[in-house]
Amino acid sequence: MRSNRRDFIKKASAGALGVTLTGGLTSASAKSYSRILGANDRIHVAVQGLGRRLGGFIEAISDKKNNIELMYLCDVMTSQREKASQKFSKVMDHKAQLENDIRVILDDKKVDAVFMATPDHWHAPGACMAVQADKHVYLEKPCSHNPKEGELLVAYQKKYNKLIQMGNQQRSSLESSEIINDIHNGIIGDTYNAIAFYANSRGKVPVPVKAAPPEGLDWELFQGPAPRKDYMHDTWNYNWHWYGWDYGTGETGNNATHELDIARWALDVKYPEHVEVYSGKFHYKNDGWEMYDSMLAKFKFSNDKTIQWDGQSRNGLSKFGAGRGTLIYGSKGSVFIDRGGYRLYDLTGKVLRKKSLQGGEDGVALGGGGNLSTRHCVNFFQAIRGKESLTSPIEQGVVSQMLTHYANIGSRINKSFEVDEITGRIYDRDAMKLWSRTYEPGWEIKPV
């Protein structure tokens, strides 16, 4: 029975890949699915990284209609594992096994899929390890820590023929998909510019000082692919985002991923030809925050289209009536899109049509969960079964992620640069020095 189920999952995976490439279900995958009933349809999953994004997965995993068996909860912090187990115990009638090392889970052949919601530096290495171990992957944003990892993700996905869904959940918004399809069909004429923005009021963070790792933290495994260094106070609990480039990708990797993806999708563009960035740390100048906290970035494309990014980590003033979103300009009107829905305007600024998401999705608040996250997870499950195409396949996700990498690179080298619009490679030598990173020996992602 188990071998039959495994064969089904593999066949369904191949069918789902065909969906992604062709836009419709293959007859083989549909017929295969129709022959499978009951427990054979069950998908066995593990979750790696049990912090703030865990809430985005609980409803989809626990809903009996989705026929999911949660086998493992994995985190390098004991308290995170225990808290996650308690959360799931309220909605599921069985307990998952708790584990701190993802490599143990990947060795379990019964696991079909892994949700990865770790710190950024673990995302691509963990996903490549997982698909190589015959697992499908739901990969939280940012999908990569640097541009080279994006290339490797696509290569691994193709070689091992497993699904990788990027966790930019707005791709599963029916409202966003509807209006972007209308934009592509000319509802606001010829598009020429998109402004993507994010505003938050993050406060001071501690100045890091050398300290013993907190009780229960496996500091060695937390670092994983990153070069080894001594633990610094308060690094592990979210502030790794702001303490240099070892683990995080700044606010741009953290949040611009979502809005820049919507902008690129709406304008129907790929790689830009020119990038310029203005950024700096302007708030709480004596605290431990090492990254920029404010950024303006501009991406110019060869077809006279532009995307602008306005990111404010520590000035929460709303723009366009929201804390985050994307404004699309066209020759005949404009559209505002966010996680809550959209508004269509004519050239006078009159609202012609609007639609709101029922139930909502978290905006700038820490944590995650809501209709879009649940829908995105369910889409992942259905794609594994061959019933749907992925709404955010990794080959699309890595292109949008490149915009955040360009912005971060521009910030770090403090100059603009040109990009090959076909390959995405940067012409500037200083910029290309940041195309990849240094890995801890033994943790490198090997080319395939």
Using one digit for the tens of pLDDT, what is the confidence trace for 74-95? 999 999 999 999 999 999 998 9
pTM here?
0.90
User: In the structure, what pLDDT confidence band is assigned to residue 357 with cuts at 50, 70 and 90?
Assistant: confident
Q: Kindly tell me if the per-residue pLDDT of 362 is higher than 80.
A: no
User: In the structure, what pLDDT confidence band is assigned to residue 361 with cuts at 50, 70 and 90?
Assistant: low
pLDDT over 90, % of the chain: 87
| Rama region for 367: left / alpha / beta (φ>0; ψ in -120 to 50; rest) | left
Q: Report whether 190 contacts 333 (CB < 8 A).
A: no
Residues 6+ away with beta carbon under 8 Å from 357: 173, 175, 339, 340, 341, 371, 372
The confidence score (pLDDT) of residue 359 equals 61
> How far are the Cα atoms of 21, 206, 350 from residue 391, in angstroms, in the given order?
12, 39, 31
Residue listed under structure tokens 């985002």: 241
Closest alpha carbon to 141 in 46, 272, 52: 52
> What is the secondary structure of 231-273 as a DSSP string?
-BTT-TTTGGGTS-TTT--HHIIIIIHHHHHHHHHHHT--S-S
Helical packing angle, 174-184 and 257-267, nearest 10°: 30
Q: Which residues pair with 72 in a beta bridge?
A: 46, 97
Closest alpha carbon to 210 in 229, 228, 226, 231: 231
| Class of residue 2 by CB neighbours under 10 A (exposed 0-12, middle 13-18, buried 19+) | exposed
Cβ neighbours of 6 (radius 10 Å) = 16
Residue listed under structure tokens 């919507």: 262
Q: Report whether 232 contacts 240 (CB < 8 A).
A: no
> Coil, strand, or helix at residue 7?
helix
